[in-house]
Amino acid sequence: MIEYVLLAVGAIAGAFLRYAMVASPKTIGGLPVNVLAVNILGSFILGLFSVLAIALNLDSNYSLLVATGFCGAFTTMSSFALETTNLMDSNRFILVALNILANVGLSIGTVLGGMAVANVIMTRIFR
């Protein structure tokens, strides 16, 4: 039963934070950046956590709380897809490409960045 509680707590926290970050849509040159920021931050947190969880031998319940619950509810593929489709409907194909490259590329990059930060933490603090 504790697994469901941890999953729910993480999901609630992630959903509330995502709502707070996307409640007032912002654009830069027509590119929607709220969802992009959420996906980048969530990817960084997931990358950081993935390394720390293994290095610290964390119980799998922490993965339910942070990775599945929090990051799963915080990051948003569906909103990214909707924003991209809206740009397509407006014939803003350069922004479509930029949105896809930014969301996918920067999300992958920040997972790697989070993993690198976690490795530095483990090397300098715990060893």
Q: Let me know how long the chain is.
A: 127
What residues form DSSP beta bridges with 31? 28
Domain of 70 in residue numbering reads as 2-125
Tens-place pLDDT, residues 5-26: 999 999 999 999 999 999 999 9
Instruction: Please state at what angle helix 34-55 crosses helix 2-22, rounded to 10 degrees.
Output: 150
75 φ/ψ angles, rounded to the nearest 5 degrees: -80, 160
- Provide the residue type at 9 as one letter: V
30 φ/ψ angles, rounded to the nearest 5 degrees: 90, -10
- Residue 99 CA from chain centroid, whole number: 15
What residues form DSSP beta bridges with 27? 32
Tens-place pLDDT, residues 15-68: 999 999 999 999 999 999 999 999 999 999 999 999 999 999 999 999 999 999
Banded pLDDT at 101 (limits 50, 70, 90): very high
- As for how many domains the chain has, the answer is 1
